[in-house]
Chain A
Amino acid sequence: QSALTQPASVSGSPGQSITISCTGTSSDFGGYNYVSWYQQHPGKAPKVLIYDVNNRSSGVSNRFSGSKSGNTASLTISGLQAEDEADYYCNSYTSSNTWVFGGGTKLTVL
């Protein structure tokens, strides 16, 4: 199975908003709303930010939000902060009862 498509990198200045897209096929998203987003700092395990498209994980800032339209899911980070600089991955349940990750997006806070 191929990875979901994410931009390799995005950047923004402190206080700005950015959006990371995650594109796949209808089979990649399996007809379910099981899309999640993970933040990973260097040398650390991924941390769930958003699950089931738009549910924020416990303790995650409300600056993070998720959405999905058709075969594209999106993660929006508002009010960018220096500590948001990290790699971000989307993940989805597929129609084959498997899970697939996006290729990852490196966020740089300028």
Chain B
Amino acid sequence: QLQLQESGPGLVKPSETLSLTCTVSGGSISSSGYFWGWIRQPPGRGLEWLGNMHYSGSTYYNPSLKSRITISVDTSKNQFSLKLSSVTAADTAVYFCARRNYASGNWGFWGQGILVTV
């Protein structure tokens, strides 16, 4: 059974870089049939898509974050990562990693989420 697990610091200082990792188990991140992405949810608020990537290297980002966000993959560790620079209190949120089927809108697998406070 596929599982995704977010990890990283739960507290980040303003102006610093938020760094999170999503470890994938029960499946290969190198499968061509999927995209891997990050979605966040500020406390008491709705979901916001941050970006996603394919293991081949193609990445897509939310335009509102484009200058601050980087998503990368480490196929040797079966992990992908999120870096968000110059954070402010507005970046405080639960961050989820998730998998989407290629050529589909099905975000079918999600991690449990990790709360990051700025």
Contacts and interface: CB of A to CB of B under 8 A. Distances in A.
Interface stretch (B15-23, B24-32, B41-49): B41-49
Interface in A21-50: 32-36, 38, 40, 45-48
Interface in B94-108: 96, 101, 104-108
A98 B107 CA distance: 14
Interface string B50-82: 001000000011111000000000000000000
Interface string A1-34: 1010000000000000000000000000000111
Contacts, number: 70
A33 B104 CA distance: 8
5 contacts: A32-B105, A91-B105, A98-B63, A99-B105, A100-B49
B111 A38 contact: no
Given A38-B107, A52-B105, A101-B48, A1 B60 contact: no
A91 B112 contact: no
A82 to B, nearest CB: 23
Contacts of A104: 45-47
Contacts of B96: 45-46
Given A89-B46, A102-B46, A97 B60 contact: yes
